[in-house]
Amino acid sequence: MAELSWYEELTAEQAAEVGRLLEAAESTDGVAPVGEAVRLRMRPGATGSRHLLARRDGELAGYAHVDVLGDSGGNKVAELAVHPEHRHHGVGEALVKALPEQSLRMWAHGGHPDAEKLAEKLGFRKVRELLRMRLRVENDLPQPELPEGITIRPFVPGKDEAAVVYVNHRAFDWHPEQGSMSIEDVRAKEEEPWFDPKGFLLAFNADERLVGFHWTKVHTPVLGEVYVVGVDPDAQGGGLGKALTLAGLQHLREQQVKEVMLYVESDNAPAVRVYTKLGFTLWDADVQYAR
């Protein structure tokens, strides 16, 4: 049996221990078991989380994170991982059973078959699917065609955070997570080792008002990401989203990456069509379950 302990905040030592568990899980499964937001919440001083640690014979065997602030629908959201050396000993089931029962959503990254079996066994059903698509960018890309009066420049730290958050909120007011991004969230990501303002492209209209952006991310020397593409509703429908996407892809190719990935909601048919026409193909999917 696993010994479970809840924490409102992780110490630096606990965070390092959990980090090693997450790395072991990712190495085995080929996909990160938790999202970026969870790793940011593991930092000392971070709030809005509950951390559940499971130990077997004194060793950290499993970890679960609960976002108690919840998504825009008021759901508490959990993500968990079990160390490969401690799987099939009931650790995952013990973690899930210890999670809060009310308004709980649970992510399974990469659609892992063990997660699907566990979800079915414990009475969860699939309620959301986030597709991960990818594109090789070694070949030529179409040139971005900017709408009339639109100019693009890189993000300037300390200057552009508020404008980005405003446009992001307008573009993603429907999204459970992205729409709630704050200025503090942007600044926290500016401290991440991957952050590069040159890869954060901002689009302004003739009145010098921000109307869209493409935030890119480089994961490894060969893998980049279309991290976020946001277009103000007032500027949608004129090709700006496609132009920003292509501008960001060109930037990533200039960084010598070979492949670019992105996430898109499975039921966002217009976006899926745009990315498919650009040559993106399905890689895998993250699945969210609810009781």
How many angstroms separate the CA atoms of 278 and 245, rounded?
9
For the record, the structure tokens of 25 come out as: 């899980």
The answer on whether 236 is annotated among ligand-binding residues is yes
What is the rounded distance in angstroms from the CA atom of residue 214 to the CA atom of residue 249?
Answer: 10
47 DSSP 8-state letter: -
β partners of residue 66: 50, 78
Q: Is 128 annotated as a binding residue?
A: no
Q: Residue 198: exposed, middle, or buried by beta-carbon count in 10 A (0-12, 13-18, 19+)?
A: exposed
> Is 31 known as a binding-site position?
no
Q: Is 217 annotated as belonging to a binding site?
A: yes
Is 263 annotated in a binding site? The answer is yes
Tell me whether residue 248 is annotated as binding. Answer: no
Annotated binding-site residue? 239? yes
Is position 238 annotated in a ligand binding site?
yes
Does the annotation flag 168 for ligand binding? Answer: no
Nearest to 136 by CA among 291, 240, 249: 249
Residue 30 among known ligand-binding residues: no
Q: Is 224 annotated as a binding residue?
A: no
- Residue 273 assigned to a binding site: yes
208 marked among binding-site residues: no
Residue 74 marked ligand-binding: no
DSSP run (H or E) holding 174: none
Confirm whether residue 118 is marked as ligand binding.
Answer: no
Which segments of 224-265 does DSSP mark as H helices, in order?
A: 240-254
Annotated binding-site residue? 105: no
Q: How many residues does this entry show for the chain?
A: 291
Residue 167 assigned to a binding site: no
Instruction: Enter the tokens of residue 78.
Output: 């959990």
Q: Is 36 annotated as a binding residue?
A: yes
Residues that constitute the known binding site for acetyl-CoA = 80-82, 229-231, 236-242, 268-273
Residues that constitute the known binding site = 36, 80-82, 177, 217, 225, 229-231, 236-242, 263, 268-273
